[in-house]
Amino acid sequence: MTRRILSFLVILMFIASVNVFAQNAQELRIGSFANANMGQGQEFWYRITPTEAGMLTVETSSSIDTYLEAYDANGNYLTENDDGGEGNNARIDIAVRPNTTYLFKLRGYSSGVTGQFRIFASMRPLPAMTPLNVGSFQNAQLGRGDEHWYSITANQVGLLVVETTGNIDTFMELYNESFELLNSNDDGGEGNNARIEVTTRVGQVFYYKVRGYSSSTVGPYRVMASYRQLPAPISLPFGSFQTGHFNGGEEYWYSVRANRRGRIVVETSSGIDTFLEAYNDTYEFIASDDDGGEGLNARIVINAEANRTYIFKLRGYSSSTIGPFRVFASME
């Protein structure tokens, strides 16, 4: 059986498993909690339907290492977390809409994790925003468990870059004006700093949440916003490949044109840790991948429309990634 068929079957099995377990998800009310005992390899599904807009927090309290994933009511992935709570506990914070159901999958960090846990849900009002102007920066101090929110109103068409600098490990999430999660990033900047790029139209409003990678992350940081020109991508025809070399911090952009409806696969082949992002022809973010290929190689599969161009950004997993790579495209 080919790798493509296997990958397709894995995706179908994953979607099916989400739907099956989500249908039997236990209701978890705001302000309440549930206790349970986790067996080896066991997972638990919970559903929450807020009655008002706000910030929903779902977290565990236990002595075991828990892992949380969040989905919408259709099983579409939203976000995930490992140690965002106290110790090895998981914690997810998402902006939610009223009368909308959200699903949460809880498991152990590894299949061997066992023990008792408590999971609970809480709400708080939507956050107050600190305006961040393009070309400027804000200095801030993260305390234990803090999160800081920033708002930017785009004043031009281009590629908006928001990033942190400092000696602490920051994590950033990007939301649109409806508080829908668009993207997130851990170490896309220098060292352990976060960095997110998004294409903009004049007047668009974006919200950025900055927190520590874990609840124990504390210290000063700087967040800044800037524009750069949209890149001119290199054409990557199906069945061909391009080679390159990372010397630390470089990025390569490629364009792939679909001549029919189908699934575009773009992947790397190398001995280094690569990271891929996919965009449509107006540079709107579609998906990203770290280690979906062989070893530490990146691999992205997207559904493509006929006669449309898609853009792929390739970088090293961190700014210190160095070494040669090959990237190639195919159509299923």
Using CA atoms, how far residue 225 sits from 149, 150, 154, 201, 293, in Å, is 14, 10, 11, 15, 32
Q: Which residue, 124, 159, 189, sits at the end of a domain?
A: 124
DSSP type of residue 39: P
Q: Which residue, 228, 260, 289, sits at the end of a domain?
A: 228
Q: Which residue, 102, 124, 146, sits at the end of a domain?
A: 124
Indicate if 11 and 43 belong to the same structural domain.
yes
| Tens digit of each residue's pLDDT (9 = 90 or more) over 266-324 | 999 999 999 999 999 888 888 889 889 999 999 999 999 999 999 999 989 887 889 99
Can you give the pTM of this predicted structure?
A: 0.58
E-assigned strand segments in 73-194? 77-81, 91-96, 102-108, 115-124, 130-131, 137-142, 147-153, 158-165, 170-175, 181-185
Indicate if 163 and 195 belong to the same structural domain.
yes
Indicate if 143 and 247 belong to the same structural domain.
no
Confidence of residue 5 (pLDDT cuts 50, 70, 90): very low
Structure token pair of residue 3: 């790798």
User: d(Cα 38, Cα 46) in Å, to the nearest integer?
Assistant: 14
Indicate if 269 and 197 belong to the same structural domain.
no
Indicate if 146 and 113 belong to the same structural domain.
no
pLDDT for res 3: 46
Indicate if 148 and 221 belong to the same structural domain.
yes
Indicate if 221 and 252 belong to the same structural domain.
no
Q: Are strands 115-124 and 54-62 parallel, antiparallel or unpaired?
A: antiparallel
Indicate if 194 and 301 belong to the same structural domain.
no
Indicate if 292 and 318 belong to the same structural domain.
yes
In this structure, of 11-15, 118-122, 190-194, 210-214, the range with the lowest mean pLDDT score is 11-15
Structure token pair of residue 113: 């994790």
Range of the domain at 63: 3-124
Q: SS3 for 17?
A: helix
pLDDT for res 286: 87
Q: Which residue has the higher pLDDT, 102 or 199?
A: 102
User: d(Cα 314, Cα 316) in Å, to the nearest integer?
Assistant: 7
Indicate if 324 and 246 belong to the same structural domain.
yes
Indicate if 243 and 314 belong to the same structural domain.
yes
Structure token pair of residue 77: 């992935």
pLDDT for res 1: 43
Q: What is the CATH number of the domain that holds 223?
A: 2.60.120.380
Q: Are strands 262-270 and 234-235 parallel, antiparallel or unpaired?
A: unpaired
| Tens digit of each residue's pLDDT (9 = 90 or more) over 115-167 | 999 999 999 998 889 999 998 999 999 999 899 999 999 988 888 999 999 99
Domains of the chain: total: 3
Indicate if 116 and 140 belong to the same structural domain.
no
